[in-house]
């Protein structure tokens, strides 16, 4: 199958089917309702299930139930919907169930707007729900990468028995781009016996699986949290992904940007190159784990006068950029949060104002 032109939301739905996910639960919300509309048509064709919940709260626990019996499950939503699911995300994380969440982010806070935004960075990478949990967060910058990340998200969720979130934005959901789909994955997780509830089937194993998150005993809860922490530490070792851009030059500034915003930054960097000004970029593809070491190394390079976090928010990722750079050079922020995307010219002006 060659390339086809597809809307981001529909491509995400198709990718889920290719990834062997036959269980999709969702509730409509702009700008991602097309995923539900697409899968309401497609799931019956492949023998899968689409259930429209009565709310995102219900959807969160439909995921809990289905994942708890070993099914590969997906939901898609947008910012306010993810807020409603945040309780379930905390419980799913504690019960160590593999679930894939797609957040097609819109502007906030509150009802905000329906235009693209990256203002859910904190919610995705630092919690949102309660307790010591982490999501593995993937950030696509286009429709093809969103498809690839959906394919990647299910095996990652199953490898770590942890929820994975794909943090897109309204632009990626709504725009059309040519995409290519890879081969189908098998529709059942190979290691589901590790977590699926199986009642009293004790013939083949020593312990029964209980899906739960209550540990009243302090020692047991401590132990449980240490198990979770070990997983998050392993993600930091094994799952950091980023794209370097123009990093091989003698750059004068380092841009850190992801998703839709990073595409504008690339154009800005190309335009400055044509003027003889070299600027480099690191585009995190995983927001947790964050590419701390590559950013520090890049910021420490001789001649790098500034690190600039450019994001569609009022300054969220910049906090992670600061803790990555660790004072090797000054750190700045530039962004917008109303739904407009800064133009390449605006980005060029910002960078020029920060370098000599």
Partner 1 sequence: MEQSAEELNKIEKKDLFTSGHRACGGCGQALAARLVADASGENTIACVATGCLEVFSSPYPDPSWRIPFLHSLFENAAAVASGVEAAYKALNKGPVNIIAQGGDGSTADIGFQCISGMFERGHNVLYVCYDNEAYMNTGVQRSSFTPLGARTSTTPMGNKTRKKNMPLLAADHGIPYVATATVDDFRDLQRKVKTALSIEGPKYIHILAPCPLGWGHHGELSVQICRLAKDTGIFPIYEIIHGKVSNVRKIPVKVPVEEYLKLQGRFKHLFKKGQPTPEVAEIQEIANQNIERFNL
28 versus 127: smaller Cβ distance to partner 1: 28
What SS3 state is found at 149? Answer: helix
83 vs 117, beta carbon nearer partner 1 = 83
- To the nearest whole angstrom, how small is the minimum distance from the Cβ of residue 80 to partner 1? 7
The number of residues that bind partner 1 (CB under 8 A) is 20
Q: How far is the CB of 55 from partner 1 (least distance, A)?
A: 4
Q: How many CB atoms lie within 10 A of CB 110?
A: 9
Segment interacting with partner 1, rule: CB under 8 A, options 8-16, 37-45, 186-194, 249-257:
37-45
Q: Which of 6, 13, 19, 56 binds partner 1 (CB under 8 A)?
A: 56
- Looking only at residues 159 through 198 of this chain, which bind partner 1 when binding is defined by CB under 8 A? none
For 203, the token pair is: 């013939």
Q: Give the shortest CB-284-to-partner 1 separation in angstroms.
A: 31
56 or 96: CB nearest partner 1: 56
* Candidate list 3, 55, 249, 270; residue touching partner 1; CB under 8 A: 55
Considering only 111, 214, 220, 314, the residue that binds partner 1 (CB under 8 A) is 111
> From start to end of 45-203, where are the E strands?
49-52, 73-77, 100-105, 136-138, 164-169, 176-179
Choose which of 19, 21, 24, 50 interacts with partner 1 (CB under 8 A).
50
Told to check if 57 binds partner 1 by CB under 8 A, we report yes
- Residue burial 156-177, b: 16+ Cβ < 10 Å; e: rest: bbbbbbbbbbbbbbbbbbbeeb
Q: How far apart are CA 238 and CA 236, in angstroms?
A: 6
Token pair of 59, please? Answer: 């959807």
Nearest to 102 by CA among 182, 15, 180, 43: 15
CB distance 330 to 306 below 8 Å: yes
From candidates 2, 45, 47, 54, binder to partner 1 by CB under 8 A? 54
Long-range contacts: 314-318, Cβ < 8 Å, 24+?
A: 314/119, 316/118, 316/119, 316/121, 316/122, 317/118, 317/121, 317/256, 317/258, 317/284, 317/287
Under the binding rule (CB under 8 A), the answer on residue 36 touching partner 1 is yes
Q: How many CB atoms lie within 10 A of CB 94?
A: 22
Establish if 29 lies at the interface with partner 1 (CB under 8 A): yes
Site residues for partner 1 per CB under 8 A: 27-30, 33, 36-37, 40-41, 44, 50, 52, 54-57, 80, 84, 110-111
């Amino acid at each position: 199958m060659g390339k086809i032109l597809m809307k981001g939301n529909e491509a995400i739905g198709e990718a889920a089917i290719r990834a062997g996910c036959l269980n999709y639960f969702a509730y409509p919300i702009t700008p991602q309702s097309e995923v539900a509309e697409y899968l309401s048509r497609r799931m019956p064709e492949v023998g899968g299930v689409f259930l429209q919940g009565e709310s995102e709260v219900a959807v969160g626990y439909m995921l809990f139930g289905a994942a708890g019996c070993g099914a590969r499950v997906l939901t898609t939503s947008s910012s306010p919907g993810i807020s409603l699911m945040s309780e379930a995300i905390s419980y799913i994380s504690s019960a160590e169930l593999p679930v894939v969440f797609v957040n097609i982010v819109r502007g906030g806070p509150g009802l905000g707007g329906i235009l693209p935004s990256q203002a859910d960075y904190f919610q995705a990478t630092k919690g949102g729900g309660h307790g010591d949990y982490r999501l593995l967060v993937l950030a696509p910058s286009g429709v093809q990468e969103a498809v690839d990340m959906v394919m990647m998200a299910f095996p990652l969720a199953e490898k770590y028995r942890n929820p994975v979130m794909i943090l897109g934005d309204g632009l990626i959901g709504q725009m059309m781009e040519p995409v290519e789909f890879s081969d189908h994955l098998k529709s059942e997780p190979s290691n589901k016996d590790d977590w699926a509830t199986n009642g009293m089937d004790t013939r083949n194993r020593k312990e029964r699986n209980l899906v739960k998150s209550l540990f009243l005993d302090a020692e047991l809860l401590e132990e449980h949290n240490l198990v979770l922490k070990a997983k998050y530490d392993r993600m930091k070792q094994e799952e950091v992904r980023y794209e370097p851009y123009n990093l091989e030059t003698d750059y004068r500034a380092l841009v850190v940007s992801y998703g839709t915003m990073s595409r504008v930054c690339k154009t800005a960097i190309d335009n400055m190159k044509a003027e003889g000004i070299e600027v480099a970029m690191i585009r995190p593809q995983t927001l947790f784990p964050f590419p701390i070491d590559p950013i520090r190394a890049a910021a420490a390079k001789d001649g790098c006068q500034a690190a600039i976090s450019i994001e569609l928010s009022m300054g969220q990722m910049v906090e992670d950029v600061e803790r990555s750079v660790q004072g090797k050079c000054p750190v700045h922020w530039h962004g917008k949060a109303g739904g407009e995307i800064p133009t390449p010219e605006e980005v060029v002006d910002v960078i020029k104002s920060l370098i000599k």
